[in-house]
Amino acid sequence: MTAASRRRRKKQPFNPAHDRRAQDLLRNAQVAPAEVDDPYEQGGKLLVLRSTRDDPLAEMLARGQITECDFAAGRHWQWAFESAEIGSVCGIDPSKEAVDGGRMNDPISDRRDRAGRELKRARDRLGASNWLVTVVLGTRKSLIEVAKETAGKNSHEGIYRALRAEFHKALETLAIVFGYTNLTRA
């Protein structure tokens, strides 16, 4: 028996009650630690790894670039943007028989109407920064990607710094508009 097999044999068996962390992350994974409620223990907390690759808002929060208040305001804007979308996507089931008529969607539901009003209120307060919020939060592009696209063949460092400052001010404005803070900006 080799020394390696003895070490493996002495190792304790996996106990999911104690360690539920992923050990097999991909090489190019972009993750950040987050604390969530433990579903198995009353009042317990778990430390999990959350993917931030396609979520620029969560990545900024994980790096400490924005506050929880800004994060909540950004998520609220994303909810309104997704809810205000007109035209629901329905898959076609080829196994079912095609019939005439089908169901008609209400083009403007109460949820869509409320989301549209909130987006308009935010757009009016954001002004020229609305395009940046739409690109970053609506299409989920990172600020570095936006800076590179804006700069073209030029250096994007200065543009990135300006976009970061503008986006931070826009998130503060959204927090005021949606009521996540009681601060007011002149």
Q: How far apart are CA 136 and CA 117, in angstroms?
A: 20
Looking at residue 12, its pLDDT comes to: 53
Looking at residue 41, its pLDDT comes to: 81
CA distances from 8 to 2, 4, 90 (A): 10, 6, 51
| DSSP conformation class of 128 | G
Q: How far apart are CA 42 and CA 137, in angstroms?
A: 35
Spatial neighbors of 15 by CB under 8 A, at least 6 apart, are none
Q: How far apart are CA 138 and CA 125, in angstroms?
A: 17
Residue 76: both structure tokens together: 């609220």
For residue 99, with 0-12 CB atoms within 10 Å meaning exposed, 13-18 middle and 19 or more buried, which class applies? exposed
Residue 101: both structure tokens together: 């008529």
Looking at residue 174, its pLDDT comes to: 95
Looking at residue 6, its pLDDT comes to: 47
pLDDT in tens, the chain (186 residues): 554 444 455 555 545 555 566 667 788 888 888 888 888 888 888 888 888 888 999 999 988 999 999 999 999 999 999 988 866 556 666 777 766 655 666 667 788 889 999 999 999 999 999 999 999 999 999 999 999 998 888 888 899 999 999 999 999 999 999 999 877 654
Q: Are 20 and 46 in contact (CB under 8 A)?
A: yes
